[in-house]
Each structure stands twice: as structure tokens, then as C-alpha cells.
Amino acid sequence: MRVRRISTALAGTAAMVLALTACGTAEVGGGEGGGEGGGEGGGDTITIGVKYDQPGLGMQEGNAPVGFDVDVATYIAGELGYTPEQIEWTEAASANRETFLQQGTVDMIIATYSITDERKQVVDFGGPYYVAQQDILVSADNEDIQGPEDLAGKTLCSASGSRSANNIVDDMGIDAQLREAGNYSECIQLLTDGTVDAVTTDNTILAGFASQQPDAFRLVNNPFGEERYGVGLPKGSTDRCEQVNQAITKMWDEGKAVEFLESNFGETGFEYEETQPEIEGCA
């Protein structure tokens, strides 16, 4: 009796294993067939990585982030067939943007993500949806500094890991002293105290900080260089990239892009671009 029961159990297990294996094979086959179109329409949610600490662009308020990048992301997701409720926001710090895309942690990254040749080797980019330029933020009562060349002999704040201040000191050869801070919030604090004379980085980022205290700071509005903000996508998502580019063009044609810029940066005196930057082709 006992022996028979065990052998029945064994036979059952073996059958199950067989069935599971068969199942697995079938699934792999099916997955390959429908892989490319899997995310579109049918998907329940889309995970988008944005900044959570960048006022005006992506800043956490309550449970969800707000800002220009978040508005753009919501619009593009809408064009891809996702309602705002279907968007899952994830914080994407600068350092882990590539990793998030490579590991599939997020479907898309819209987080002041500049398109560069190095990054193009590991991820795909839609857009650019906006071209930011480097600019200088000073305190409101400072009239001396009107452009990068006025920074000679001044103290400039550089955020850890950012090349913006080095652009001025090393590449443009302007003799300014650098004070390094952990991030731009700390730079703004140093600027408020008068420990540094100026903060330099993308004008969108500066305008975002200025929007928190419009009376305390002045954006010099003498931009130089360019940072093309793209929509980061996993490597090899050409179809998704084309859809994103269509959505970006539509966003500018409908005037939504300017609307988003005005609502996020309107009070700061930031002279933002009002025309769509030229779309780069998808790889």
C-alpha cells in the first residue's frame, strides 16, 4: 500500500514537472512573438523615472512629483495611451539613470537627462524635448555679474559631480575660485549666505531654484553652451522612440510645451525657448 502511494506521488510529480516544462517552453515562444509590441496599449501601468529633488523640473510634493519634466512625462505617457493614474513615478537620481533603463526598473526616464554620445552607447534617446543652456544665478542685489567673463576673481559654487563650474574655469579659462557643495540646494544656501558670488548650471535648474524665492535671486539670462534634454529609453526601443518623438512634436505644436514652461518658470524671469528643438532621429 505504502509503496504504491509513494510511486503514485512520484508519477504525479513527474507529470507536473513535464507539464511545467512544456508550459515554460510555450511561454518563451509566445513571449518572443509579441515582445516588441508588449508595452503598448495593453500594459496596465508605465514606470517613469524623474528627479525628486529638482524644483521646477521634478520635485516631490506629497506623494507625487511636480515640475516641467513631470508635465512633459505626463503628456508623453498620455500620447502613448496611459492615463495619469496609470503612471508610476520613480525617483531617478543622476547616477543611476543608465542602470535603471538597463535593468528595466523604469520604462522611461525624463530627468534633465542630457543626450550625449557616451550615453547613447548604452541607452536610446527620444527628443530632445527641450534644450537647456548653462547660465548663472546671482543674488537679486548683485548687478556686477552679467555673464561668465564677469566671474573672474569671484567665488563660484560647483555641485559635486557636475561639470558646469569646470566649464567656466577650465574650458573658458576664467579665473574664478570654486567652492564645492554636495548638491545645488547646498549651493543655493551658500549663495544666500553670500559665501559664494554665483551658482552656475543649466538655466532650467537655476530657474527652478529661483522660482522658490523669486525675489532673492536673479538669473543672468546670458546663456552659453547647450544641454539637450532627451527622453531616456532602454537600448533597442526604436518603435517607442518614434512614438515619443511624435508626442514631443505634438506637444510643441499644440502649445502645451510653452504652457508647461510658463506654469513652472513664469515668475522667475527665465527667458525660456519657445520653439521646438530639432528632433534627433531614433537609432
Partner 1 sequence: MEAFFSNIDKVVDGFSWTVRLTLLSALFSFILGVILTAMRVSPVPLLRGISTAYVEGIRNTPLTLVLLFCGLGLNSALGLHLSDQVMWDVFWWAVIGLSAYTSCFVSESLRAGINTIPVGQVEAARSLGLTFTQNLRLIVIPQALRTVVGPLGSVLIALTKNTTVASVAGLGVQEASRQMKLMFDQGIAPVLPTFFGFAVGFLILTLPMGYLFGWLSKRVAVVR
Closest to partner 1 by CB, 73 vs 191, is 191
Closest to partner 1 by CB, 154 vs 240, is 154
Q: How far is the CB of 193 from partner 1 (least distance, A)?
A: 4
Q: How far is the CB of 180 from partner 1 (least distance, A)?
A: 3
Q: How far is the CB of 194 from partner 1 (least distance, A)?
A: 7
What are the residues whose beta carbons fall under 8 Å from the beta carbon of 31, sequence distance 6 or more? none
Q: How far is the CB of 91 from partner 1 (least distance, A)?
A: 19
Closest to partner 1 by CB, 73 vs 157, is 157
Closest to partner 1 by CB, 135 vs 197, is 197
Closest to partner 1 by CB, 80 vs 137, is 137
What are the residues whose beta carbons fall under 8 Å from the beta carbon of 41, sequence distance 6 or more? 81
Q: How far is the CB of 171 from partner 1 (least distance, A)?
A: 13
Decide if 110 contacts 69 (C-beta within 8 A).
Answer: yes
Rounded Cα gap, residues 142 and 197, in angstroms: 9
Rounded Cα gap, residues 30 and 22, in angstroms: 12
Rounded Cα gap, residues 112 and 206, in angstroms: 12
Of residues 146, 83, 144, 73, the one with CA closest to residue 108: 73
Closest to partner 1 by CB, 71 vs 197, is 197
Rounded Cα gap, residues 122 and 226, in angstroms: 21
Closest to partner 1 by CB, 179 vs 250, is 179
Burial zone of 57 (CB within 10 Å; 0-12 exposed, 13-18 middle, 19+ buried): buried
Q: How far is the CB of 69 from partner 1 (least distance, A)?
A: 21
Q: How far is the CB of 163 from partner 1 (least distance, A)?
A: 8
Q: Where are the alpha helices (H) located in the chain, listed in sequence order?
A: 2-34, 68-79, 97-103, 117-120, 164-166, 184-193, 203-212, 238-253, 256-265
Binding residues (CB under 8 A) for partner 1: these are 118, 155, 158, 160-161, 163, 177-182, 186, 189-190, 193-195
Decide if 125 contacts 235 (C-beta within 8 A).
Answer: no
N- to C-terminal Cα distance for the chain?
A: 67
Q: Where are the alpha helices (H) located in 108-237, listed in sequence order?
A: 117-120, 164-166, 184-193, 203-212
